[in-house]
Amino acid sequence: MLTLLSPAKKMNMDPATTGLSATRPRFENDTRELAKLAKTKTPDDLKKLMHISDNLANLNVERFQAFNLDGQSNSAKAAGLAFDGDVYWGLEAKSMSDEDLAYAQDHLRILSGLYGVLRPMDAIQPYRLEMGTKFETPRGKNLYAFWKDVLAPALNAELESHEDRTIVNLASNEYFKAADEKALSSHVISAKFMEDKDGKSRPVQYYTKFGRGLMARWIIQNRVDRVDGLKDFDAGGYKFDPARSTEDNLVFARPQPPKKGS
């Protein structure tokens, strides 16, 4: 069983210590091709492409100019520890044991606009290049075209060594559609996180992202490697709701937490 996450826009490149050695991303040639193109972009180019502020455009021009095309960089950090956003606050990889991180290395994958597919311990350099960006390359008009023939075969190959060849999709739609679900040879299960309040139940964006990371952490720490085991997920107060679930879409609900400070 393989769990998928999206990356985060924010990154924390402060040093982090683990007993595991960092690994090299598997699609370095593809990343090099994209990074070479990104190095030609001006702040105004990135501002228009990514719909970001002047400050963020300047920051990311600096990042791409400093990007080391041979992958060897003093600024590199393991992906699972470098991404810093709602999903990764739930995953909280920095507090995992080395045994947990080793298990994650075999069972967790992060989809990336620049790196394609990342293992948690793959060393990455700071960047921002979202999968939905209309970044034109010789392969097509956007990153979906660039990665179309890469991601699904890579995931299929990885799952060949798993007894349960299921993909647990905890990535956003923006990223998961880059994997071309029709080309995947495995069963795909998704999870939805609902917040119950005042007699109503609804997804809340922040809690959904946090819940995805929380579930990925729970899968790793409990060594869950069968689909049926997912229904036991109970972290953060969530409980499986069979009435609202289907075979391919599992729903988990909880009373919505009060806002911080209230």
Does 261 reside within a domain? no
Cα–Cα distance for residue pair 8/27, rounded to 1 Å:
19
Helix (H, G, I), strand (E, B) or coil at 100: helix
Residues in the chain, how many? 262
Contact of 210 with 186, CB cutoff 8 Å: no
* 156-206 pLDDT, tens digit each: 999 999 989 999 999 999 999 999 999 999 999 999 999 999 889 999 999
Domains: count for the chain: 1
List the domain range (segments joined by +) for residue 114. Answer: 2-255
Window from 121-130, 234-243, 252-261 with minimum mean pLDDT: 252-261
Q: Is pLDDT at 108 greater than 80 in this prediction?
A: yes
pLDDT classification of 59: cutoffs 50, 70, 90: very high
Q: What is the mean pLDDT of residues 70-76?
A: 84
Does 156 reside within a domain? yes
What pLDDT does residue 260 have? 66
Entry pTM: 0.95
What pLDDT does residue 262 have? 46
Does 260 reside within a domain? no
Does 216 reside within a domain? yes
Does 36 reside within a domain? yes
Q: What is the mean pLDDT of residues 79-99?
A: 97
Continuous segment of H or E residues that includes residue 193: strand 187-197
What pLDDT does residue 258 have? 82
In the structure encoding, which two tokens stand for residue 54, read together?
Answer: 């002047």
Helix (H, G, I), strand (E, B) or coil at 192: strand
Q: Is pLDDT at 73 greater than 90 in this prediction?
A: no
Q: Rounded to the nearest 10 degrees, how much is the dihedral formed by the CA atoms of 116, 122, 124, 127?
A: 40
Q: What is the mean pLDDT of residues 219-246?
A: 96
What pLDDT does residue 261 have? 52
Does 127 reside within a domain? yes
